[in-house]
Structure 1
Amino acid sequence: MLRIIVPLALASLLPNAILHAQTPFQSIAQVGYAAKCDCGEAVCGCEDSCSEAACGISDPAADCDSMCDDGCDSMGGGLGCFDTSKKGCGLFSNCGDDPLSLFGCTPCGLTVSGWAQIGYHSKGSDFRFNSFPNNVQLQQAWLSIDKAIDTSEGFDVGGHIDYIYGTDGPDTQAFGTDNGHWDQSFDNGGNYGSAIPQAYVEMGYGDLSVKVGHFYTIIGWEVVTAPDNFFYSHAYTMYNSEPFTHTGALATLAVGDNASVFGGYTLGWDSGYEDNGDNFIGGISSALCDDITATYATVFGRFVERTQERGYMHSLVFDVTVTENLQYILQSDVLATENASGAAERESIGVNQYWIYSINDCLSAGARFEWWNNLDSATGNRADVYDLTLGCNVTPHSNVIVRPEIRWDWDPDQLGVNQNDDKNQTTFGIDTIVLF
């Protein structure tokens, strides 16, 4: 009973709507944290989040007051408490609430941040993430250290490293190889473990930047990091047909104000600093108009060294602002690989649709509908699997997100894709994310 009471009590205190997942397609000319404060000191000494340096305005008191009117205490629509225009000097801070910041301003443009995610779900998946049902669990205890690059004045060097502990740890490791290298041996027993899903150096000049090291994939819309997803659970497409991480080099070139082009080379899928294959990774993201952004990302080549699996996959994502409060995302994935003998290894097609409606700054509702068609390489059969997920994000404070959801999975082909060969299942889940 205590296992259920504790997370539900935490949930009663918690979350706000994140209207879209964080993607790797960000502007190259990023400004470092200390540079935004512009305090001219080794340690950022901004007096408060509504200082002129933080807001970038000549009358900070008046304009920051107007910004506060749209915060979490307001019931108006908008992007919610994670709107970056409301961030001040303190980490994750905005003019609406007074969020907790464990690290505050740090020297040399470093940002230290993280979160703790506690969750419960009634049934598990056959694949990665949410595979430890009927247990209140620490899924992600996450710590990040980031030095964003600022190329506004020429060449700059930065970097990023992530550490995770929890039941999502083993699923975030470099599991593409089975030799225990990099972070694959960081298991702790009882479904818990650690991982270092990112560790890279980034260099940039003008509109060009290059990551070298271990980094997240650019494939798909859903991501590993919990606060950057609207839903608690993941789509079949994300956790079964897409890579999570790569090791290699990835260049990003900003083309004008509305497009970015990506290209690079990586050592296969989900591997640490060792050879797990050879593949190209790249794509393009562009604003087709004011309300529609399209992103095409692809990986092709050799994905897994030990099986000589090679092939092609891509994701195509359309992000549409339907109204001021309604966002629609359409994603299509195609994966086709073969083994060393030329036989089909993996073939799948996925179509995901998301509708996310911002009711106010503290509450958003969403729906996800997925069709995933997958080839069983052992039998040659194909299965059509569907899932419908309804959920909401509640954010009573800018440090807290609560994500209750109900999910229905069904397999009309009755091939036992779901856990325990149950072709249909209904799952309730809820998690709480506390940012710091």
Structure 2
Amino acid sequence: MKLSKLALIAAVACGINAHNLTTATANDINMVSFCETSCDCGEPVCGCEPVCCDPGCDDGSCCEPECGCEIACCDDTSCCDGGCDSGCAATSCLDDLAGGCLDDPCSLFGDIGHGITVGGWASIGYHSKAVPLFNSRADEVQLHQAWLYAEKAIDTSNGFDIGGRLDYIYGTDGPDTQSFGINNDHWDNGWDNGGDYGHALPQAYVEAGYGDLSVKLGHFYTIIGWEVVGAPDNFFYSHAYTMYNSEPFTHTGALATYNASDDLSVYGGWVTGWDSGFENNGDAFLGGASMGLCDGLTMTYATVFGRFGEDKTGGGDSERGYMHSIVFDYAVSDNLEYIFQSDYLDTEDAAGATSRSTFGINQYLLYTLSDKLALGGRFEWYDANEGIYNSDNDIYALTTGLNIKPHSNVIMRPEIRWDWVDGDSTGILEDDADDQFTFGFDTIFLF
């Protein structure tokens, strides 16, 4: 019965979102570049270069390419000569959002020398109802993330290199980002500031690499799952139940990455459990692989198994077990992306009793209209069998939203979310309701 209901809901969700849409990585939205060519038959702007199917196409025509020639635009407008303001014009009637290009983002700090980059963002948001997934403080404008980072990215193209990164966050997302895996006020666990605000240091690591191999050592983000903590790196303002309840946010230990080929990267390392600082709170393997299966399709398998740390159910015993995340990312077309994610978690305490048992499926459909506007839909089924909320709950969430980017340094993320619970809804939604609609909106200022 549950599976048939899920199939029906998924079909409806996909139908609703068939005209809708991706997420971001590394402080920007992965929108397809929609730079247009100028119509003076001169050089294409925005770094666009004509791709010809026949040498006879070099007659200088660019407004109407001959021989089936197509104009290929750069994904990164930073390589454009003179930037997108050098003549890139939108042809859409929705000139401000549905077309046009963005200038390169401004940077308050940028490269401060020796390859060290300093930057950050501020995320300010509002949501009408409480959703216990970072967005637990309802019906008020709040500072979610005031984020600052310093990074030296490694470059192994010429051999050995060493770098690292340090991140700092303050806001209502701070307490959820702390090393709460061991509640002893060590590392950043006790840096609360009242009213749900707090500080955290989610990353502090050094990284060394040579050729195709690199190793992180310290405190770093997990490789599990598709959604992350940093606001600019997520399409949606709110988060999935799976990400919040069944995935680690950070680890402390060592993680190696080997880029075996253009289509295969392998990860492996040892960590001290989940969401812990620099102390012995676990003993687990963290690893996986990312594989390009075919044109446009990537699969990432990531797992952590071993001793995770203090029992999250409050029993005080050691929690140990297995967790994995499988993510398929498929570029359906140049501007349509589909992501399917499945998470499985099963742990037990020292006596062998089940601590947590969950299974989740998340689906994302993301559509890019222009560099400035993208549409998205997310549907989640979260099966919390044990240790999360109440026993044996099926939780569903359907989210639709926009990414509006009026400026290279500004991202606005309005969304509407519908959550409903099949089972005991106590402690899940606001006022223990069986279902609820939530409107949310945040703005991210990058610097």
Normalised to the residue count of structure 2, the TM-score between the two structures is 0.78
Shift of 1:99: 3.3
* Structure 1 residue 320 displacement after superposition: 0.3
Query: How much has 1:100 moved relative to structure 2?
Result: 2.6
Indicate the residue corresponding to 2:77 in structure 1: 86
- The answer (yes or no) to whether the contact 1:202–1:210 under 8 Å persists in 2 is yes
User: Which structure has the larger Rg?
Assistant: 2
Give the 5 Å matches for 1:217-366.
217-305=222-310, 306-366=316-376
> Gaps (5+ residues) in structure 2?
1-19, 27-41, 50-70, 86-101, 311-315
Q: Could you give the per-residue CA deviations for residues 200-232 of structure 1, whole angstroms, max 9, x where no partner exists? A: 000000100000000000000000000000000
Look up the match of 2:438. 427
Contact 2:45 2:84 in 1 (8 A): no
- Whole-angstrom distance in 1 between the partners of 2:169 and 2:387: 33
Contact 2:21 2:365 in 1 (8 A): no
CA shift for structure 1 position 185: 1.1
Which digits, 9 at most, give the CA deviation of each residue in 1:284-336, with x for residues without a partner? 00111121000000000000145210000000000000111110000000000
What is the identity, as a one-letter code, of the residue corresponding to 1:116?
A
Q: Tell me, in whole angstroms, the C-alpha distance in 1 between the residues paired with 2:72 and 2:221.
A: 25
Contact 2:123 2:146 in 1 (8 A): yes
Give me the whole-angstrom Cα distance separating, in 2, the residues matched to 1:63 and 1:239. 49
CA distance, structure 2, for counterparts of residue 18 and residue 248 of structure 1: 36
Residue identity opposite 2:124 in structure 1:
I
Between the aligned partners of 1:237 and 1:98, the Cα distance in structure 2 is 35
**C-alpha contact (below 8 Å) 1:88/1:94 kept by paired residues:** no
- CA 1:85/1:99 → structure 2, altered by over 3 Å: closer, same or farther? closer
Residues 21 and 85 of structure 1: CA distance in aligned 2, closer, same or farther (over 3 Å): closer
1:51-73 Cα distance to aligned partner (Å, 9 max, x none): xxxxxxxxxxx97933389xxxx
1:99-120 C-alpha deviation (Å, 9 max, x unpaired)? 3321143210011110000000
* 2:190 counterpart residue number: 185
Pairing 1:65–2:70 present: no
Q: Do the aligned partners of residues 117 and 64 (structure 1) sit closer, same or farther apart at CA in structure 2, a change above 3 Å counting? A: farther
Q: Deviation per CA, 1:388-413, whole angstroms, max 9, x where unpaired?
A: 00001000111100000000000122
Is the CA contact 2:420–2:436 (under 8 Å) kept in the aligned structure 1? yes
Distance 1:18 1:195, change over 3 A: farther
Pair 105,381 (structure 1): closer, same or farther in 2 beyond 3 Å: closer
- 2:130 aligned partner: 124
Partners in 2 of 1:268 and 1:64 — Cα distance?
52
Determine helix, strand or coil for the equivalent of 1:105.
Answer: strand
Quick one: distance in 2 between partners of 1:172 and 1:117? 15
CA 189–380 in structure 1, closer or farther in 2 if over 3 Å, else same:
closer
Q: CA deviation at 1:22?
A: 2.7
Gaps of 5+ in 1: 1-16, 24-61, 70-77
2:117 counterpart of 1:137: no
Alignment of 1:335-414 (within 5 A): 335-377=345-387, 381-414=391-424
For 2:17, the equivalent position in structure 1 comes to none
Task: Give the match for residue 33 of structure 1.
Answer: none
Name the amino acid aligned to 2:144: Q
- Distance (whole Å) between structure 2 residues aligned to residue 324 and residue 88 of structure 1: 20
Partner of residue 114, structure 1: 120
Q: 2: distance between equivalents of 1:63 and 1:293?
A: 35
Q: Which residue matches 1:37?
A: none
Letter in 2 for 1:22: T
Using the TM superposition, give the Cα deviation of residue 171 of structure 1 relative to its aligned residue in structure 2, in angstroms.
0.6
Aligned partner of 1:198 in structure 2 is 203
Distance 1:387 1:270 in 2: 25
Q: What is the distance in 1 between the residues matched to 2:72 and 2:350?
A: 48
1:422 aligned partner, one-letter code: A
Supply the RMSD in Å over aligned alpha carbons: 2.4
Give the TM-score normalised by structure 1. 0.80
Counterpart residue number, 2:22? 19
SS at match of 1:240: helix
Letter in 2 for 1:361: D
More RCO (CA 8 Å, sep 6+):
1
Letter in 1 for 2:373: L
What is the one-letter code of the residue matched to 1:346? R
Amino acid at match of 2:396: Y
Aligned to 1:57: none
SS state at 1:221 partner: coil
